[in-house]
């Protein structure tokens, strides 16, 4: 593995989200300067995790504002983590999803090319791509950097277009790469997503506040990992002195949502009773998400070979930590505090 770069300046868009917080803290702890962007849509409570991080107000769709940020901050690396992250919600907000997840990335790359023309070089650009770019595949399929793009949701289509724009930018001379992130979670994961919801409901079942844990579809099977691990991989790519290349970030392991639910209930101290897990999918109940992608794994062998990365924690351990945090949240009524990250440092 190459010798890491000396301290750098990093510009992290979407720094108040789960991934932004983890990445910013990792880079700051390693002695780097980190400037993170926040927008009106950012969750202000998560700023408690960002001590030592310089914050800048910025809407990722504002390309002129991005150009001004480059001139002011002079970053060595730009990490684009700003995005609308809900696949399900993208069906109801297709135009906004395309504007934020596709058009903004294309515009940022254009600004970087102009910056390179003026200054002779441009910062490295790392884009948060997604496994949703691949779309549905044969159950059991293993997807890597060469797998064809076949997105089926507005979210996936936007991410795929941004992914291709980054590939084209790299071909034109920019140091730019996609990190294709499979599903990942942790105590900072937005509460409405499946795994945080599962952990919260498990704690409520154990506390007698609800009768059972209700899932949209317990049979959904995905390659899920821990956000802290995935951002550690991201940091390794960012800090490598070698030109960046596209990499898949995944665990290579599949778990059913129903299996995760049993782990969460056990961690919360609820009885081992399958009747505590309910299925909301059905013609008269909550419909399954359109074109849901399930049963496919990611192949992170390129990442492992080039950056010596492997996940440090199994998904079950991450879920157990999330349950412990949800128990604290239930007791204290406090959604965010720095101590929630202690076990994931």
Whether 173 and 31 map to the same domain: the answer is: yes
Whether 157 and 288 map to the same domain: the answer is: no
Q: Average model confidence (pLDDT) for the chain? A: 92
Residue pLDDT, tens place only, 18-54: 999 999 999 999 999 999 999 987 778 899 999 999 9
Count other Cβ atoms within 10 Å, centred on residue 191. Answer: 12
Closest of 16, 13, 17, 19 to residue 47, by C-alpha: 16
Q: What is the SS3 string spanning 106-158? A: HHHHHHHHHHHHHHCCCCEEEEEEEHHHCCCCCCCCEECCCCCCCCCCHHHHH
Whether 242 and 100 map to the same domain: the answer is: yes
313: phi then psi, degrees, rounded to nearest 5: -135, 140
Q: What is the pLDDT of residue 4?
A: 57
Q: What is the pLDDT of residue 116?
A: 97
Using the predicted structure, report yes or no on whether residue 200 has a pLDDT greater than 50.
yes
> At 292, is the pLDDT very low, low, confident or very high (cuts 50, 70, 90)?
low
Q: What is the pLDDT of residue 5?
A: 65
Whether 163 and 236 map to the same domain: the answer is: yes
Using the predicted structure, report yes or no on whether residue 285 has a pLDDT greater than 80.
no
0.75 surpassed by pTM: yes
> At 290, is the pLDDT very low, low, confident or very high (cuts 50, 70, 90)?
low
Q: Spell out the long-range contacts of 310-318 with Cβ–Cβ below 8 A and sequence spacing 24 or more.
A: 311/225, 311/226, 311/229, 311/251, 312/226, 312/229, 312/232, 313/226, 313/228, 313/229, 315/224, 315/225, 315/226, 315/251, 315/253, 315/255, 315/260, 316/263, 317/226, 318/185, 318/186, 318/225, 318/226
User: Does residue 24 form part of some domain?
Assistant: yes
Cβ atoms of 154 and 272 closer than 8 Å: no
Whether 66 and 202 map to the same domain: the answer is: no
3-class secondary-structure state, position 234: helix
Please enumerate in sequence order all residues whose Cβ is within 8 A of that of 189, keeping only pairs 6 or more positions apart, or say none: 18, 195, 196, 227, 322
The whole-angstrom separation of Cα 179 and Cα 66 is: 21
Residue 37's Cα: distance from chain center in Å?
A: 16
User: Does residue 301 form part of some domain?
Assistant: no
Whether 67 and 27 map to the same domain: the answer is: yes
Report in angstroms the alpha-carbon separations of 328 from 65, 111, 170, 191.
40, 44, 45, 15
Whether 142 and 96 map to the same domain: the answer is: yes
> Domain count of the chain?
2
> At 287, is the pLDDT very low, low, confident or very high (cuts 50, 70, 90)?
very low
Q: What is the pLDDT of residue 194?
A: 94
Using the predicted structure, report yes or no on whether residue 2 has a pLDDT greater than 70.
no
**236: domain range?**
9-185+225-250
Using the predicted structure, report yes or no on whether residue 344 has a pLDDT greater than 70.
no
User: Does residue 3 form part of some domain?
Assistant: no
CA angle, 165 then 299 then 98, to 5°: 30
Whether 52 and 92 map to the same domain: the answer is: yes
Please enumerate in sequence order all residues whose Cβ is within 8 A of that of 120, keeping only pairs 6 or more positions apart, or say none: none
Residue pLDDT, tens place only, 229-262: 999 999 999 999 999 999 999 999 999 999 999 9
100: DSSP letter: I
The whole-angstrom separation of Cα 324 and Cα 339 is: 12
User: Does residue 281 form part of some domain?
Assistant: yes
User: Does residue 67 form part of some domain?
Assistant: yes
Question: What is the mean predicted confidence (pLDDT) over 12-21?
Answer: 97
Whether 23 and 126 map to the same domain: the answer is: yes
Whether 235 and 285 map to the same domain: the answer is: no
CATH code, domain carrying 141? 3.40.50.720
Whether 85 and 44 map to the same domain: the answer is: yes
275: phi then psi, degrees, rounded to nearest 5: -70, -10
> At 88, is the pLDDT very low, low, confident or very high (cuts 50, 70, 90)?
confident
User: Does residue 100 form part of some domain?
Assistant: yes
User: Does residue 94 form part of some domain?
Assistant: yes
Whether 166 and 280 map to the same domain: the answer is: no
Count other Cβ atoms within 10 Å, centred on residue 57. Answer: 10
User: Does residue 309 form part of some domain?
Assistant: no
Higher pLDDT, 88 or 345: 88
Cβ atoms of 215 and 261 closer than 8 Å: yes
Give percent of the chain above pLDDT 90: 81
Q: What is the pLDDT of residue 272?
A: 83
Cβ atoms of 131 and 180 closer than 8 Å: yes
Residue pLDDT, tens place only, 136-170: 778 789 999 999 999 999 999 999 999 999 999 99
> At 122, is the pLDDT very low, low, confident or very high (cuts 50, 70, 90)?
very high
């Amino acid at each position: 593995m190459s010798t890491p770069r000396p301290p750098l300046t990093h510009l992290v868009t979407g720094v108040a989200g789960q991934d932004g917080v983890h990445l910013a803290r990792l880079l700051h702890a390693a002695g780097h300067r980190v400037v993170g962007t926040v927008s009106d849509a950012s969750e202000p409570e998560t700023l408690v995790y960002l001590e030592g991080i310089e914050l800048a107000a910025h809407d990722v769709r504002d390309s002129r504002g991005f150009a001004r940020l480059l001139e002011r901050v002079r970053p060595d690396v730009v990490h684009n983590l700003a995005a609308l992250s809900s696949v399900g919600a993208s069906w109801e907000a297709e135009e906004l999803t395309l504007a934020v997840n596709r058009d903004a990335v294309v515009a940022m790359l254009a600004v970087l090319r102009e910056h390179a023309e003026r200054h002779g070089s441009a910062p490295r650009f790392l884009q948060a791509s997604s496994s949703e770019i691949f779309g549905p595949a044969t159950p059991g399929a293993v997807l890597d950097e060469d797998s064809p793009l076949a997105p089926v949701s507005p979210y996936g289509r936007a991410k795929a277009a941004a992914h291709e724009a980054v590939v084209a930018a790299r071909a034109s001379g920019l140091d730019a790469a996609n990190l294709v992130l499979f599903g990942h979670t942790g105590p900072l994961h937005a509460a409405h997503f499946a795994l945080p919801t599962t952990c919260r409901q498990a704690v409520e079942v154990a506390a007698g506040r609800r009768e059972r844990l209700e899932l949209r579809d317990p049979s959904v099977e995905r390659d899920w990992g821990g956000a802290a691990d995935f951002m550690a991989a991201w940091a390794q790519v960012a800090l490598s002195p070698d030109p960046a290349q596209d990499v898949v970030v995944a665990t290579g392991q599949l778990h059913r949502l129903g299996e995760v639910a049993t782990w969460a209930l056990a961690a919360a101290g609820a009885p081992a009773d399958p009747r505590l897990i309910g299925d909301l999918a059905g013609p008269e109940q909550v419909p399954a998400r359109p074109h849901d992608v399930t049963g496919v794994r990611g192949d992170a062998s390129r990442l492992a070979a080039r950056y010596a990365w492997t996940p440090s924690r199994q998904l079950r351990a991450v879920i157990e930590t999330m349950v412990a945090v949800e128990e604290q949240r239930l007791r204290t009524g406090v959604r965010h505090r720095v101590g929630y990250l202690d076990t994931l440092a």
